Structure formats: C-alpha cells, structure tokens
Amino acid sequence: MENPEEPLSTRDLVATAEPPAATDGAPETTAGETRDVADEAPLLEEDQAAGYRRRWEEIQAGFVDEPRRAVEEADGLVATVMQELAEGFARERERLESHWDRGDDVSTEDLRVGLQRYRSFFRRLLSA
C-alpha cells in the first residue's frame, strides 16, 4: 500500500478508505450517558504512544526552523497513528470473524468488549 520511500499522509488513508457503512440501527449515546472504564482505555500500547509523543515533540520543536517541513511531518505522523489504529481494529475484527468462519461461538462478553472499544474510539474522535 505505502511506498517505503514516501511518507504516509492522511490523503493516503482517505484514498484507500471504504465509504462509510449505513447505520445498523444501534441506539446512539446520549449527552447524559456516563462513561465507563473502556472509554478511557488506551488505544495504543504505552511504548507505542510514548514513541509517537516523542516524535510529535521533535516535529513541534522543528517548526521554528522549518515550518513547512514540520507540517508535512505532522501530517505523516497523524496518518501513521491513524493507520496503526485502523490496523488494530481490523486485527480484532479478523479475530472475531475467524471464530465465526469456523462455526465457533463468540461470547457475548467478547462482543461487548469489542463494541465498547469502538464506542470509546468513536467518542474520542468526535470530542473537541
């Protein structure tokens, strides 16, 4: 998908993204709904997140000397993190689907945890 010599950009993610799926009829959350622990669960492993934070600090520090380059690198970093998140969700879905394909039952608890993870991510995306 990505040329190793060209950095990933958010444009790359949009170009390969599938159109949004229709809603499934699941109830939407309300403004007064309380958040649970899953809403605060990290989306990335701590060492990954720390590496991305360090990289962001380097990019931000470089803005003074090379603002255009800093913006390009920031776009690439955001695209990389978005891709990592998308791949994580895809791996989880593949894991669940592999159980379904074998005819195995997936526990309601596994599905509940998966849905909570999606809900948490969705809420974070929409928060200001």
What is the three-state SS of the chain? CCCCCCCCCHHHHHHHCCCCCCCCCCCCCCCCCCCCHHHHCCCCCHHHHHHHHHHHHHHHHHCCCCHHHHHHHHHHHHHHHHHHHHHHHHHHHHHHHHHHHCCCCCCHHHHHHHHHHHHHHHHHHHCC
The answer, as to whether pTM is greater than 0.75, is no
97 or 5, which is more confident: 97
Residue 112 above 80 pLDDT? yes
User: How much is the average pLDDT of 51-64?
Assistant: 97
pLDDT in tens, 88-102: 888 888 888 887 777
